Chains A and B, each alone.
Chain A
Amino acid sequence: MKCSKKRWLTMAATATIYLVALAVRADEQLFGFVRGAETLPQGQSELYQFVTLRTGKNEGTYYGVDFETEVEHGFTDRLQASLSLENHYFYNRGVNGPTDGLDDSDRYRFGGVEGSVKYSVLSPFKDPVGLAFRIEGGYLSNDEVDGLPQHDRYVAPEMDLQRNFFDDTLICEFWYGSEFAWGKQPAEQYPRELAIQGGAGISYRVAPNWFIGIESHVRSEWPMFDFDNFEHVVVYGGPSLHYTTKRWWTTLTWVNQVWGEGIDEPHNGQTFAEETRQAVRLKLGVNF
């Protein structure tokens, strides 16, 4: 790794400060990339900090770090809304093969602003299955691959399902949705893009306060909202560890690219143009 020791120490310290200073929680998340059907109780507010490290391209050295700071509030026992800020750090060296083509970089970029609303229809604690609908939208001024400028406005509706077993010690979550984005240029070739995405996870309470799980998520992208215009599809999977207390919780997830395919990329079961070989996500939530 060519990135300097000082640089990494700075990043680690930054992440630590984020995590320690923002000790407050949102609807508790057992997984890094999968959402369940629970919502915050009325009048409760929570603050999250997510830090995601994405690394591994087809060649060279690539580190993309996403910092997402989010505030969430329960307006009723069924309805919650959130607002978040996204920031990125990029370190690239030699990621300029035939499929990637990124310039060398070492920079921070403001990502954008996002908001979401989630409504719980059925409770996983007393109904046969928990069901919630969530819609997210936002404006992203720099893309998350290399921080290139864009004017991305997007809206992403989804459905969240949750089924609990064994007195709520085994928790299964599934979500499925889509994302409609406009203004992807000049970061991407096309101005509009449709993404179909979803995920599933299963987590077990191995001891009081501790959950261990496994999760997977998938995303496919279709430029110009056209299903005849395939860009790429990727599947990630890996373990997650969750710890919670009365006032805060944290989740650590590592996922590896299980399978991927992209247009204009070698058909070797991996895609790297917009994706990475692996990602590590650390979440911290605190209630207030």
Chain B
Amino acid sequence: MNRTIFWSTPAAIVIAGSVSGYATTYLTVNQAQKLCFANATEFAPSDVALSPEQMRAIQKDSGVTVRFATQKVWRVRAGDRFLGWFLADQVLGKHEFITWALALNADGSVRQIEILDYRETYGYQIRDGQWRAQFYGKQHGAPLKLDVDIRNISGATLSCRHITDGVKRLLSFYDLVLKD
């Protein structure tokens, strides 16, 4: 035998267990759009393919790594009136990606943040409305740093920091790419 069986048992358990992860989906993109812009009549897809130069510029401006070359964006209107932007994004959780959305007013200030998918063991407290409300009204150039202008949630520090970094990165994206 049976060295093979004995030594391979732990590996088999690891591999077998690797198929059992699951996610918690709180909102779909459509649901989040309606929450952020209740009066909107149109969400026009306006995805942006970032050039390597743009990715570097955003990274330099925000100090946050840009991981994806495509940014999902919707231009939001209510009739003829331009309401703002809706951006769907992902940031790193401890183990998987956290899917979230950022709504911007027409002037580029943060209107709302929604968490769509959360797959982590700890840190779900970032869905707390009061914590997310700290970002509302923030614009490009705000410090957006934990314990400076954003309160941390103890026990959810990694998720707080990565969402905060995500907001900072998307505000740089707005300022350098979307605004024009």
Contacts and interface: CB of A to CB of B under 8 A. Distances in A.
Interface of A: 1, 5, 8-9, 11-12, 15-16, 19-20, 25, 28, 41-42, 44, 51, 74, 77-78, 123, 125-126, 166-169, 205, 208-209, 241, 243-248, 250, 252, 280, 282, 284, 287
Contacts of B13: 16, 19-20, 250, 282, 284
B18 A167 contact: no
A28 B119 CA distance: 15
Contacts of B156: 41
Given A41-B155, A123-B157, A168-B158, A252 B10 contact: yes
B81 interface: no
B121 A25 contact: yes
Interface in B132-177: 146-147, 152, 154-158, 161-162, 165
B146 A245 contact: no
Interface stretch (B46-54, B70-78, B90-98, B107-115): B90-98
Interface stretch (B1-9, B26-34, B36-44): B1-9
B118 to A, nearest CB: 9
Interface residues of B, number: 39
B22 interface: yes
A282 B122 contact: no
Contact of B162 (A8, A167, A208, A284): A167
A11 B1 CA distance: 13
A95 B120 CA distance: 47
B162 A245 contact: no
A252 B29 CA distance: 38
Contacts of B21: 209, 245-246
Contacts of B18: 209, 243
Contact of A12 (B5, B65, B119, B120): B5
Contacts, number: 99
Contacts of B152: 126
Contacts of B96: 208-209
16 contacts: A8-B5, A8-B6, A15-B10, A19-B13, A20-B13, A41-B122, A44-B122, A74-B155, A126-B146, A126-B152, A126-B157, A168-B94, A168-B158, A245-B20, A246-B21, A282-B14
A208 B20 CA distance: 13
A105 B6 CA distance: 20
B10 A51 contact: yes
B17 interface: yes
7 closest residue pairs by CB, A with B? A41-B155, A245-B21, A77-B154, A125-B157, A282-B10, A77-B155, A125-B158
A203 to B, nearest CB: 12
Contacts of B94: 28, 168, 244
A101 B100 CA distance: 62
A126 B14 contact: no
Contacts of B122: 41, 44
Contacts of B14: 241, 243, 250, 252, 282
Given A12-B5, A245-B95, A252-B14, 20 more contacts: A8-B2, A8-B6, A9-B5, A16-B13, A42-B155, A51-B10, A78-B154, A123-B157, A167-B165, A168-B92, A209-B18, A244-B94, A245-B22, A246-B21, A246-B22, A246-B119, A250-B14, A282-B10, A282-B13, A282-B14
